[in-house]
Structure 1
Amino acid sequence: MSEKINTLTKPVSRNGVGPSSVALPPGPWPSIIDFLVEQFPAIPRSEWTERMQRGDVLDAHGKTLTPASGYQANSKIFYFRSLPVEARIPFDEVVLYQDDYLIAVDKPHFLPVTPAGRYLQETLLVRLKNSLGIDTLAPMHRIDRETAGLVLFTIQPQTRNLYQSLFRERSVSKEYEAIAPYRADLGLPITYCSRLMESAAFMKMEEVAGEPNAETAIDLIEVEGTLARYKLEPVSGQKHQLRAHMAALGIPIVNDRIYPELYPDEGADQDYSQSLKLLAKTIEFVDPISGQLRQFQSLQKLSF
């Protein structure tokens, strides 16, 4: 029988960013740094040394580890990520609602919800932790970095699952708006269903044969020239569902750099004038704590 790995409360965030953790299995490593160098080959020993000297690597009791710290199997360590200085994403989020349990935020285009890849400080979660001083914030759900609109966060860890389960159980009504080419022959409104799976292309989903796992209700709001404003209501919550479904119908969302054609990541050369014309417009659900009907609406409007 294997030994149980010790657990502990996660250390407090620093500058709004929580630490990552790694379990220490039985093994031959004489020191923690030897294990880390082998576990993360892309990070050189010199960088781990610098992190330890800054106090960015902690043991299971919150004690700072050094390059000389011995390896202790069946425990856990925490470490803080290190990234170059991030250029500020030049758009601001707006807090629409806050109580003791949840926060509703209007997210701008281009801002990721949570840290990933090259984004750390310039994420909605970290910005909110720093501006509101609430270290326990966690997203109830997520939307794409390129998508603007409503994102909900929970505050209390003990009630977090109650709110997140609303999304898992499809007890939340969501409405999006999108700008895309106009097709008079679609006969809207329609409900489009397909099976979406990860494709071989990085970040992209594709439609495959089999039982549908993605369902989107699509209706027309208004037409302006060759473009139209659509109302999209996702019944399911597959990755990139709305973008993939609109592209499959021959009306890809304006400025979509993934569907139908995948373009290279612009990186630091991001063109902020070409935002994806997709907006998470409304969210509605019955609050599991108060029993009240919660209705939130984005203040943003997509332009043609």
Structure 2
Amino acid sequence: MTGAHGVRPAPGPDQPPVPVRLVTFNTHHGVGDDARHDLPRLATLLASADADVICLQEVDRHFGDRSEDVDQALLLSRALDMQLAWGPAIDEPRPGARPPRQYGNALLSRLPILVSDVHRLPGSGEPRSALRTMLELDGSTLWVTATHLTTRSPEERAEQVTALAALHTEDMAAGVLVGDFNARPDAPELDPLRQRFTDAWELAEDRDDQAGWRFWQRDEGHTHPARAPHRRIDQAWVSSGIAVATARVLDADGASDHLPLVVDLLIPSGV
């Protein structure tokens, strides 16, 4: 069965659910807390998660000197031997035959990608987008939407969240919405999301994070900033019927200013 990682599907009279391991991670364009662009370090970290689906924010494609002008999305997909879906938020042409300067969201998948589309989100300042994909599972499908919301204001985030929630319609069955929301899960502007999705961290049967000796923050799921996390802004939200076996915040090994969130999902079969 696709995506088995030691997660035991719940028994039932019908087909058992399909386990899928998903990672969401703001990569800070591959630049770690040592101010060094190190794509092999990032690829090694992602490989260690052994995920079926990896959703990345702040990914560069020929963006410039800060990331050595490389195509990070393509190089990571090749290094991990995973399919790639790409959702630019910034897309600027360059003179001559040079590829465009792009920055945005990437999805890497071991599962077949059946549908992939990009949706611009409302707001001013830095452009924001959502990458929506449909993945093929054994006996079912899974919609995954990855995004990175604005830092400008709660009002603009509320507009973006409303647009995001509308991307998952009733006939789409199982769906997950992940990314860097730049807001706490209980923030008022995320209310349209809470009406239709459930916070995977709260739903998880088993949770673990990087709080360490800070016992008063244990199992809080904080992901930012990486060196002393105290904000849970990197999140995964699941539609009705999806169970969450585990949710973990991993050590980023200095690869970014965020920490990766890993969730083990159980997707209903036959939907």
* TM-score (structure 2 length as normaliser): 0.30
Rg larger in structure: 1
Bigger strand fraction: 2
* TM-score (structure 1 length as normaliser): 0.27
Q: Which has the higher contact order (CA 8 A, sep 6+)?
A: 2
